[in-house]
């Protein structure tokens, strides 16, 4: 089996966690694992290594030669069934429910901003990237003025309406915000009809390619009228929190960054950043929190401006008001902390 990349492993761990907590069926976890790893045998190996064994035997289903093509649900389920019946979840893991509760729909946050809000302009945009066209969503205040710019980085679901809403919220705070579609090299988020494919595409993408697309977004943002070209920041969530770190250590134009519960970058890259970084985490998110101590040590050693904020009693993805882990109280506090940080390091 080819070694997994950092983000492939991150996504697999996240989907296994969702299954154990009852937010995802075993069948769906296996299906997403196949997309992320590129084949049934590699998915089986990876899932066993993560402490569960619902994946197929290597010969049950041939590895997909085109991971953009849908994998029939019944085929994956049939492949997974023998191992699923033979194996139980890892010791201490919660037994998954046969039918997870429906994911709440949103937006539910009082911060939500409608697309037709009279104070902002929001629209889909396209701009040149390293490998071709990059898609995005740009939101800005309607009032005439010059504003700092923000790159908004989506979760593992792609550039969905929730992230467009987050960009509009940032515009209401007095920023020009660009949400970059990290599925642009796959034709864009709107072209992907099967949600399971999104994780596979994002997981198998080369981190350098996605950072390059985000950096193209930085250039596009700097080219916009009314944007302070030397005042560019970034923030993102979950998978996007990881790429907020990667952009901050890979592009010295980023002056401030706020990654929400994202996987840490390689610590040897930390000295490269020019950004003041506020890392936001959830107390119950032990998988991600394990990376905080070495990351903080690297930040201290490099003499970087940073703060780590861990919110008690909440889970991974507490900010997303369209998801099951949303906490209104904590998400509001984290939003205020985020824009206090940007005001300090970008707007003044």
The 3-class SS string of 114-153 reads CCCCCCEEEEEEEEEECCEEEEEEEEEECCCCCEEEEEEE
The verdict on 138 and 248 lying in the same domain is yes
In a domain? residue 106: no
Looking at residue 105, what is its pLDDT? 72
Number of domains comprising the chain: 2
Q: Does one domain contain both 315 and 189?
A: yes
**Residue with the two structure tokens 């119950």:** 284
221 and 284 share one domain: yes
Look up the CATH number of the domain holding residue 289.
Answer: 3.40.50.1820
Residues 150-163 have pLDDT tens digits of 999 999 999 999 99
Same domain, 72 and 171: no
Domain assignment present for 13: yes
Identify whether residues 132 and 230 lie together within a single domain.
yes
What pLDDT does residue 203 have?
96
Angle at 255 between CA 9 and CA 227, to 5 degrees: 115
pLDDT at 79: 38
Could you tell me if 231 and 284 lie in one domain?
Answer: yes
Structure confidence by residue, pLDDT tens digits, 72-85 = 434 344 434 433 33
Helices (H) and strands (E) in the chain, counts: 11, 8
Q: What is the pLDDT of residue 53?
A: 60
Q: Cα(105)–Cα(316) distance, rounded to whole angstroms?
A: 17
Instruction: Please report whether residue 99 resides in a domain.
Output: no
Same domain, 174 and 305: yes
Clarify whether residues 194 and 55 are in a common domain: no
- How much is the pLDDT for 103? 65
Residue 183 shares a structural domain with residue 332: yes
Residues 78 and 177 in one domain: no
In this predicted structure, what is the pLDDT of residue 122?
A: 98
pTM: 0.88
Task: Domain of residue 77: give its range.
Answer: 6-86
Model pLDDT, residue 24: 93
pLDDT at 106: 76
The number of residues in the chain equals 348
132-141: strand order across its sheet: 120-129, 132-141, 176-180, 147-153, 227-237, 254-260, 276-282, 306-311
Residues of the chain where predicted confidence (pLDDT) is lower than 70: 1, 53-103
In a domain, 277, yes or no: yes
pLDDT at res. 52: 84
What does the DSSP 8-state code read for residue 273? -
What is the rounded distance in angstroms from the CA atom of residue 222 to the CA atom of residue 251? Answer: 13
Residues 65 and 135 occupy one common structural domain: no
Structure tokens at 219: 């250039």
């Amino acid at each position: 089996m080819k070694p997994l990349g950092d983000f492939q492993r991150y996504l697999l761990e996240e989907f296994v966690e969702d299954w154990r907590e009852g937010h995802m069926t075993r069948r769906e976890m296996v299906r997403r694992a196949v997309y992320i790893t590129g084949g049934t045998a590699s998915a089986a190996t990876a899932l066993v290594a993560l402490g569960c064994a619902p994946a197929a035997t290597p010969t049950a289903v041939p590895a997909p030669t085109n991971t953009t093509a849908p994998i029939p649900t019944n085929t994956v389920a049939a492949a997974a069934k023998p191992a699923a019946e033979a194996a139980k979840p890892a010791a201490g893991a919660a037994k998954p429910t046969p039918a997870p509760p429906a994911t709440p729909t949103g937006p539910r946050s009082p911060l939500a901003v409608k697309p037709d809000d009279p104070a902002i302009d929001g629209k889909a945009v396209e701009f040149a990237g390293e490998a071709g066209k990059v898609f995005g969503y740009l939101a800005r205040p309607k009032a005439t003025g010059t504003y700092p710019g923000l790159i908004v980085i989506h979760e593992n679901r792609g550039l969905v309406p929730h992230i467009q809403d987050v960009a509009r919220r940032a515009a209401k705070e007095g920023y020009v915000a660009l949400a970059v579609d990290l599925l642009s090299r796959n034709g864009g988020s709107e072209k992907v009809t099967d949600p399971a494919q999104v994780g596979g595409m994002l997981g198998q993408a080369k981190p350098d390619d996605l950072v390059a697309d985000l950096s193209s977004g930085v250039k596009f943002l700097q080219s916009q009228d009314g944007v302070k070209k030397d005042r560019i920041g970034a923030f993102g969530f979950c998978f996007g929190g990881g790429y907020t770190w990667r952009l901050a250590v890979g592009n010295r134009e980023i002056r401030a960054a706020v990654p929400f519960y994202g996987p840490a970058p390689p610590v040897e890259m930390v000295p490269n950043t020019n950004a003041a970084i506020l890392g936001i985490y959830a107390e119950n998110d032990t998988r991600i929190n394990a990376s905080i101590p070495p990351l903080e040590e690297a930040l201290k050693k490099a003499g970087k401006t940073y703060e780590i904020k861990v919110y008690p009693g909440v889970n991974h993805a507490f900010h997303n008001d369209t998801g099951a882990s949303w906490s209104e109280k904590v998400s509001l506090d984290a939003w205020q902390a985020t824009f206090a940080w940007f005001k300090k390091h970008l707007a003044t």
